[in-house]
Chain A
Amino acid sequence: MSIIPVNEKFTEETLIQVGRLCAQAVYKAPQLTGRVSFTCNLVTGEDLKYITEAFQILFRLEMYHLPSLFCYRDAMDKGEPLVLLLVGTKDLNHSELNWDCGACGFDTCGEFNRYTRKKLKEPSYPGMLQGQGPCCAWKLMDFSLANDWAAAVAWQHNVTNRVEVASGQAALAVGMMEGCTTVLGLPLGPRHELYWYSRRGFDTALPYKRWLNTMQLNYPHHWGTFKGSGRPEIKKGNRWWEDMYEAKLEEMDVQELVESRKDVEEDLRELREQRMADLKKRAEQD
């Protein structure tokens, strides 16, 4: 026997092994409906770059892609092993249950199915959280708890992980989960305690003053003053009485949001095409 160094390559193999077991847990997880089937893909090495590129584009719509972007990018830049388990399904937008439970907001499963068939014909947009709604609630539970089982298996194997909306959305956007309408991601690794929590990238991505300003904007009551003046005064600096600020409600530019969705969709389309071209090239080389 020779010495086997526990290096990045070795760890990546371990993560792939654990990823396999996590995927196995997805299929073994108990179901209420017994009607949900899964597609699992394990993204490794070079292919992760499509995910980070999608984060970069989707970040323009939703800020929660930012922490995922810097977590993935940091690990990849440092050569730290990281694999991504994608768990998806195509079964949530239709109910064959006939339970008529009302969770979806319709009196019967039949009405839900009619509404869904109509809704799915409308164009979707890339900012949708985990894929395409409307979903049958109880089938969504089966999908979600299976993802929970996968995360629990990673936890039992001491692999740092976090169930992620962002990477599921990114994978859907770049066409990695063909046929699926709902996808969640489960990044596994790298070799750091709490890598996906208390994320260190925020130190540079969100400087202290900007962070504090965001808190003051989002939770102005915490910086409010006695409202005797009748004005919504907000404390900003430590000597807040010297420079006074007040809160305001401003109308959002909805058109701008609509335009940026179009731009994002266009950039994602290009990324999908580039991935397809890369795959073709790779197949030719093989």
Chain B
Amino acid sequence: MPEIYVNDWPPHAPDDLHRREGVVEAARLMLNAAYTAPVAGGVGQIEAVILWGKHEQEKLAKKMEEMAAHNQHTSRRFKYEAEMVRESDAILLIGDYLASTLPIDAGCGLCGGEPNCSFLYERKKVVAGGQIDPTERNFDKLVDGPICLVRFQDMSYAVGSALFMSTRLLVDARPYFTVGAAGRQLGYCSDSGVVCGILIAAQQKNPFVDIPQDYHVINMRRMIQSVRHWYIINRNTAGDYRFFDPSADLEKEMLQQQQEEQAEKEGDEE
């Protein structure tokens, strides 16, 4: 068996990728749980994408930051959670491909309070005798609403089961609407009018809790950026260690002193 060496630092380096593979395995098992979750009538309606890798995560994070500009009230939420996307190990996007375009038509009233499905149908482009046109895709809002909430409930069971499985697999995971919305904008789960994103990580510190304020500017990545650039600049104050090394001279002095003290002590003992 080959040796599998794991070190979580630096992130995305080969040693760290070994660790991340385990998280992707966990994501696959979480997806099993999502698929076996109970749904009304056992109707298949879930599509999912497992996303991981530095560039893939960066692309999603950038999209969220772009969306922050267009979502005034949730701007900071998009920005903070974009950083969490960068810090996660894998992302599970779960979409419901029926919720927006093929309601259960049960007249339950969950969506708009009507004793029928009129609330939803009156707000959709309907053709050919009660058919919602699925080609009219709306990306203006974060979700292509209104959506059938019975379908959405089914999707919630899927998300819940995935999260439950994450607790059994001892990976940290949290659901995010911002991640799902950005994933949808990027074309992941492209059949779904609504997508939920689950960030998954198996790191020493759960990256989804204890989020400082101003997280988009005060985070590990930015802190390390500043160390790198200020340390490099401060190196310019260094001289030539071959001719000028006062710290080494001090160390020699200390050693000499210790040896003298030791010799004196041994002399006393004799």
Give A contacts to B, CB under 8 Å: 155-156, 158, 194, 197-199, 208, 211-212, 215, 219, 221-222, 224, 226-227
Contact with A along B184-228 (1 / 0, CB 8 A): 000000000000000000000010011111100010001100110
Give B contacts to A, CB under 8 Å: 167-168, 206, 209-214, 218, 222-223, 226-227, 230-231, 233-234
Q: A198-B210, A221-B223 known; 5 other A-B pairs, CB under 8 Å?
A: A158-B167, A221-B230, A224-B226, A224-B230, A227-B230
Tell me whether B210 and A155 are in contact (CB under 8 A). Answer: no
Q: How far does the alpha carbon of A158 sit from the alpha carbon of B211 in the complex, in Å?
A: 22
B212 contacts across to A, CB distance below 8 A = 211, 215
Tell me whether A197 and B209 are in contact (CB under 8 A). Answer: yes
Q: How far is the CB of B165 from chain A (nearest CB, A)?
A: 13
With A215-B218, A227-B233 already in contact, the answer to whether A221 and B226 are too (CB < 8 A) is yes
Tell me whether A197 and B206 are in contact (CB under 8 A). Answer: yes
- A222 contact from B206, B226, B233, Cβ within 8 A: B226
Q: How far is the CB of A191 from chain B (nearest CB, A)?
A: 17
Tell me whether B209 and A211 are in contact (CB under 8 A). Answer: no
A227 contacts across to B, CB distance below 8 A = 230, 233-234
A211 contacts across to B, CB distance below 8 A = 212-213
Q: How far is the CB of A219 from chain B (nearest CB, A)?
A: 6
Q: How far does the alpha carbon of A156 sit from the alpha carbon of B234 in the complex, in Å?
A: 50
- Nearest B residue to A194 via CB reads B209
A-B contact pairs, 6 of them (CB 8 A): A197-B209, A198-B211, A221-B226, A222-B218, A224-B230, A227-B234
Tell me whether B222 and A208 are in contact (CB under 8 A). Answer: no
Q: How far does the alpha carbon of A198 sit from the alpha carbon of B211 in the complex, in Å?
A: 7
A155, A208, A221 — which one has the most chain B CB atoms within 10 A of its CB?
A221
Q: How far is the CB of B184 from chain A (nearest CB, A)?
A: 25
Q: How far does the alpha carbon of A31 sit from the alpha carbon of B3 in the complex, in Å?
A: 26
Tell me whether B233 and A226 are in contact (CB under 8 A). Answer: yes
Q: How far is the CB of A83 from chain B (nearest CB, A)?
A: 21
- Nearest A residue to B218 via CB reads A215
Tell me whether A198 and B209 are in contact (CB under 8 A). Answer: yes
- Nearest A residue to B234 via CB reads A227
- Nearest B residue to A155 via CB reads B167
- Nearest B residue to A208 via CB reads B213
- B227 contact from A156, A158, A194, A221, Cβ within 8 A: A221
Tell me whether A197 and B210 are in contact (CB under 8 A). Answer: yes
Q: How far is the CB of A241 from chain B (nearest CB, A)?
A: 18
Q: How far is the CB of B221 from chain A (nearest CB, A)?
A: 11
Tell me whether B213 and A212 are in contact (CB under 8 A). Answer: yes
Listed from nearest, the 9 A-B pairs whose CB atoms lie closest are: A197-B209, A222-B226, A198-B209, A224-B230, A221-B230, A221-B226, A222-B223, A198-B210, A221-B227
Q: How far does the alpha carbon of A156 sit from the alpha carbon of B213 in the complex, in Å?
A: 31
Q: How far does the alpha carbon of A224 sit from the alpha carbon of B231 in the complex, in Å?
A: 11
B214 contacts across to A, CB distance below 8 A = 212
Q: How far does the alpha carbon of A215 sit from the alpha carbon of B234 in the complex, in Å?
A: 21
B233 contacts across to A, CB distance below 8 A = 226-227
B168 contacts across to A, CB distance below 8 A = 156
Q: How far is the CB of B219 from chain A (nearest CB, A)?
A: 10
B206 contacts across to A, CB distance below 8 A = 197
Q: How far does the alpha carbon of A155 sit from the alpha carbon of B212 in the complex, in Å?
A: 25
Q: How far does the alpha carbon of A139 sit from the alpha carbon of B231 in the complex, in Å?
A: 41
Q: How far does the alpha carbon of A199 sit from the alpha carbon of B168 in the complex, in Å?
A: 24
Q: How far does the alpha carbon of A198 sit from the alpha carbon of B84 in the complex, in Å?
A: 14
Q: How far does the alpha carbon of A226 sit from the alpha carbon of B226 in the complex, in Å?
A: 11
Q: How far is the CB of B216 from chain A (nearest CB, A)?
A: 13
